[in-house]
Amino acid sequence: MQRLLWTLVVVNISWALATAQNIYQERDDAGDLPRTAQLVQSAGAQGCQTPVDQIQGTMGENDVDMYVICITNPAAFSATTVGATGWDTQLWLFRCDGRGVVFNDDFGGSIQSRIDNSTNCLPGAGIYLLAITRYNRFPVSAEGQPLWDPLGDPNAIRCADGIRADQPVAAWSGITLAEGSYTIQLTGAFFVNENGCCVTASGDVNLDGCIDDTDLLRVLFAFGNEGNFLPEDVTCDGVVNDSDLLRVLFSFGQGC
């Protein structure tokens, strides 16, 4: 009898664990560009290991909410507002450097959205930026040109196919009304750590687990380079300079 009781307890606990949802709630207002995107982070959650099942937030007027998430297996990834959000959403995925990856406006006959890797747009595992907007607010390059073709099929799940698909998002165009709350359901998405997109913050430029002369050389050869989230820019301030060199030097030998 006692054994049966224990079995029941264990079964109940496993059931509770299996159905528990890891929900991330937007804090204040998530930003709309890579530099201001909100880290999907939680006390007790491990970067790229603890799954996040849902993101909940609020959409204001002309709003864009961008979140930093980890995707370890592109084939397992999906993000959708279908059946979970009541208004005309759009979902966008970007690389950390701001270039467009995949987008959907209206999925499966609804006005809500779903993105996944069914169209093979994701270049691989890594840290990504997931953004939600209301229709019709869309990302543009520094010259104001769209990253996705505005005349493309709104029902399709599309890789960046606009005139400036090769450029990072610099701003958003289009005016939208406030819409209130939303829920994005996720699969194959994980929390990130405090470094977010700055994956080489430890000084391990080539991500081989050891900080050594290879990393030092990478920084030296990239010295003076500017851009978003360059691996050699271990401080992630947009430029490779002596601060990056110092960080690698101070961590030299770690993990080797």
Residue 54 beta carbon to Ca ion: minimum distance, rounded to whole angstroms: 18
Q: Does 106 bind Ca ion (CB under 5 A)?
A: yes
If the CB atoms of residues 41 and 50 are measured against Ca ion, the closer one turns out to be 41
Residue 155 beta carbon to Ca ion: minimum distance, rounded to whole angstroms: 9
Q: Does 195 bind Ca ion (CB under 5 A)?
A: no
Is residue 170 within 8 A of residue 208, CB to CB? The reply is no
Residue found under tokens 């093979």: 120
Residue 6 beta carbon to Ca ion: minimum distance, rounded to whole angstroms: 48
- Residue from 33, 34, 88, 134 binding Ca ion (CB under 5 A): 88
Q: Does 84 bind Ca ion (CB under 5 A)?
A: no
Q: How far apart are the first and last CA of the chain?
A: 54
If the CB atoms of residues 166 and 237 are measured against Ca ion, the closer one turns out to be 237
Segment 216 to 255, residues that bind Ca ion, using CB under 5 A: 233, 235, 237, 244
Q: What is the DSSP secondary structure assignment for residue 16, as one 8-state letter?
A: H
Q: Does 63 bind Ca ion (CB under 5 A)?
A: yes
Distance CA 246, CA 55 (A): 37
Residue 119 CB: number of other CB atoms within 10 A? 13
**Which span sits near Ca ion by CB under 5 A: 123-131, 166-174, 176-184, 211-219?**
211-219
Binding mask 130-159 for Ca ion (x = CB under 5 A): -----x------------------------
Distance CA 225, CA 68 (A): 24
Residue 255 beta carbon to Ca ion: minimum distance, rounded to whole angstroms: 8
**Which span sits near Ca ion by CB under 5 A: 33-41, 44-52, 59-67, 93-101?**
59-67
Residue found under tokens 């307890």: 9
Residue 152 beta carbon to Ca ion: minimum distance, rounded to whole angstroms: 13
C-alpha to C-alpha distances, 163 to 23, 76, 160, 166, nearest whole angstrom? 36, 29, 9, 8
Residues 6+ apart with CB under 8 A from 55: 23, 24, 25, 26, 40, 67, 130, 183, 184, 186
Going by C-alpha positions, the residue among 38, 72, 73 that lies closest to residue 55 is 38
Q: Does 215 bind Ca ion (CB under 5 A)?
A: yes
Is residue 55 within 8 A of residue 24, CB to CB? The reply is yes
If the CB atoms of residues 106 and 116 are measured against Ca ion, the closer one turns out to be 106
Note the residues at the interface with Ca ion (CB under 5 A): 29-30, 63, 65, 88, 105-106, 111, 135, 204, 206, 208, 210, 215, 233, 235, 237, 244
